[in-house]
Structure 1
Amino acid sequence: MYEEFNHIYSINLRGAIKGKVGVDATKEGQSVFNILIGTAITILVKDDSESHSINYFDIGDFLNRNKKLKKISELKSIKNISWNTVYPDENNDWINQRDEKYANYPKMAGEIFEDWAVGISTNRDAWVISFGKENLVDNVQRMIKQYETERNNLKLNNSTTDIDRDSSKIKWSSGLIDKLNKQVEINFNNNRIQLIQYRPFTKKFIYYENNLVERPGKYRNWQKGNPIIFITGKGSRREFSTAMINLIPSLDLIEKGQGFYQWHLNEGNLLSEKSDNINGKKFGLSTEETFYYIYGLLHSKAYRENYASDLKKELPRIPLVKDKEKYVEIGKKLADLHLNYEDVPVYDGVNIVFKSDNPSFKVKKMKHPKRGQLDTIIFNEDIVITDIPERAYEYVVNGKPAIEWIIDQYQVKKDKKSGIVDDPNEFSDNPKYIFNLLLSIINVSLQTMDLVESLPPLEIIV
């Protein structure tokens, strides 16, 4: 645009709150339209001159719709605006320009980790992912039975035009239609059921099989014991975040998520034959130390703030910092905390109110008593949890506090199209699993914030 036009006048009206939480969302203010994405007025001028200019105006922080519209009305014309002159950088960024030094740091993808992979995408989560293993088996078997019926019918009429597209019987996709046309036989295999890290601090069962998982990715050869640093991918709407996991990741575990594993995913690569996926020489650390160094650094508030724009536009680059050993130490503690979150002792600083002598620990949908009252969670009709520290909500993963992920995910949900019900109470034989998980995540959140704040200052050497 800068080269195509001579004069550009851009008024940023903000309001891009989709995918943002807390201060990041309120700072954008309301959109001037009743939508959740930002808007701008941009005037592009062509003339016969050789001059080019970009004139930029930001409407301001924390403004509601009426204040923004009033400000536009008062300005009346671009003549009345005090413009900021913008000079595009070498990346053609106008605002939120990238740090020039950042480009010199080693790339996490390719220079430090030899291999990495996006999370898996099924294109039919309701059918092949479930909290309950028995429910999953039933759904998958029903779908395979319907597929095989359609495959046998296709032998007779040789056309997919008349296949049954009832979404309560099967979820078609381009990949599955292709297999139908090729007469690929699908049989149920109980060995394909395993756990997946579905969302932050949320595990489910998945039927991980190439025919029914649209984009199975590289994780077919992943083996337990190979930890993964999962991070926000480039182009995300949300602020950068990361999670340490030891299960196969869903693509939407973190937006546009990318996984960086400690060991290669080679075929038949047993843990006794581990092959390093990390170049530790970049920082004078062992490969294991490098793994934890990176996880610690990616939690640094200063790193995320300084390179916020860069982290939205490309996968992270990792500088060498002073006190790297301390980053290794805290990174390992964070990793242990996040990998073993189910085993973290419950936070005992809250007050548990039982409204029954024989309370149920099953959930339908947890909630706060009212908007903004974060110190209290109504677990179910029998149990209310109060005195939750506000600080616990400061630990945010993928745009949402870890506690809110538990509230959001651990509820009974019915998929509208398929009619399939997913009940989190079926996940564990322990009736208190979800209750204990919530109290553990409060503790995990508080400990995470303590560890993050104990990281040394971000003093970059190279």
Structure 2
Amino acid sequence: MGETRNHATNDLIFNYVYAVLHDPVYLETYALNLKREFPRIPFYPDFARWAAWGETLMALHIGYEDVAPWAVERIETPGKRAAGTTPKPVLKSQPGAGGGTGNVVVDGDTQIAGIPAAAWTYRLGNRSAIDWVLDQHKEKKPRDATIAAKFNTYRFADYKESMIALLARVVRVSVETVAITDAMAALDRTDWPAPA
């Protein structure tokens, strides 16, 4: 008979590795090594729990556009300006202090409030996922004069509503990711074997 493969096992291993690569204890312990070489994945006790965490994290991160948006509060305070003009984009995050909630100043008219402080602790590289979304939606003037004159058609006002919807989803992904990584960090590892 031909060779049979258990695809679920391959998926479980992939999920496990994804979870370990999000483990705050692993990331802190091996921070210098991870900057210089490929990661070495330890075998943690309770493989099934780690694989389940990895599966949940992957579903959140890959399917971020389909998650239920976080219930944020939109605050509108229209300013005075000429008819037919749009408010100036601000796109600035103001994280909550002391575990409270923070907000995002979208433009001169709109703020998004009710964002848990934990949402800013999920980072993509050196900044929070919230700040990454805001940075991607800023209006940037190209340095090249020809490109600026002919192809610089992006206006934040055209994407304001879709950015706010994306922001609410990214807050959900951030908060749920932090809850999982906090659970990872809280594990008692005293009886775990030392990594090889």
Deviation at 1:300, TM superposition (A): 0.5
Q: Is the 8 A contact 1:365 1:410 kept in 2?
A: no
Task: Indicate the RMSD between aligned Cα atoms, in angstroms.
Answer: 3.1
TM-score calculated relative to the size of structure 2:
0.75
Deviation at 1:434, TM superposition (A): 0.8
TM-score calculated relative to the size of structure 1:
0.34
SS where residue 345 of structure 1 aligns? coil
- 1:87-126 aligned within 5 A: none
Corresponding residue number in structure 1 for 2:169? 440
Aligned equivalents of 2:20, 2:117: Cα separation in 1: 25
SS where residue 388 of structure 1 aligns? strand
Corresponding residue number in structure 2 for 1:172? none
The sequence identity of aligned pairs, in percent, is 26
- 1:52-91 aligned within 5 A: none
Aligned pairs, how many? 172
Deviation at 1:331, TM superposition (A): 0.3
Q: Is the 8 A contact 1:345 1:440 kept in 2?
A: yes
Gaps of 5+ in 2: 79-84
For residues 289-321 of structure 1, the C-alpha deviation after alignment (integer angstroms, 9 at most, x for no partner) is 111111000000111111111101101111211
Aligned equivalents of 2:171, 2:107: Cα separation in 1: 18
Partner residue of 2:55 out of 326, 332, 351: 332
CA, structure 1 residues 327+457, in 2 after alignment: closer, same or farther (shift >3 Å)? farther
Q: Is the 8 A contact 1:414 1:421 kept in 2?
A: yes
Partner residue of 1:302 out of 19, 25, 42: 25
Aligned equivalents of 1:363, 1:343: Cα separation in 2: 29
For residues 394-442 of structure 1, the C-alpha deviation after alignment (integer angstroms, 9 at most, x for no partner) is 10111111011011111122211232426275997xx621111111111
Q: Is the 8 A contact 1:294 1:331 kept in 2?
A: yes
Say whether residues 1:286 and 2:16 are aligned partners: no
Gaps of 5+ in 1: 1-275
As a proportion of its length, which structure holds more helix? 2
**Aligned amino acid, residue 440 of structure 1:** R
**Aligned amino acid, residue 354 of structure 1:** E
Larger radius of gyration: 1
Q: Looking at both structures, which has the greater relative contact order when contacts are Cα pairs under 8 Å and sequence separation is at least 6? A: 2
Corresponding residue number in structure 1 for 2:89? 364
Q: After the TM superposition, which parts of structure 1 deviate over 6 Å for at least 4 consecutive aligned residues?
A: 360-363
- 1:23-34 aligned within 5 A: none
Q: Is the 8 A contact 1:297 1:327 kept in 2?
A: yes
Corresponding residue number in structure 2 for 1:252? none
Q: Is the 8 A contact 1:365 1:407 kept in 2?
A: no
Corresponding residue number in structure 2 for 1:345? 68
Q: Is the 8 A contact 2:104 2:112 kept in 1?
A: yes
SS where residue 376 of structure 1 aligns? strand
Corresponding residue number in structure 1 for 2:123? 396
CA, structure 1 residues 296+441, in 2 after alignment: closer, same or farther (shift >3 Å)? same
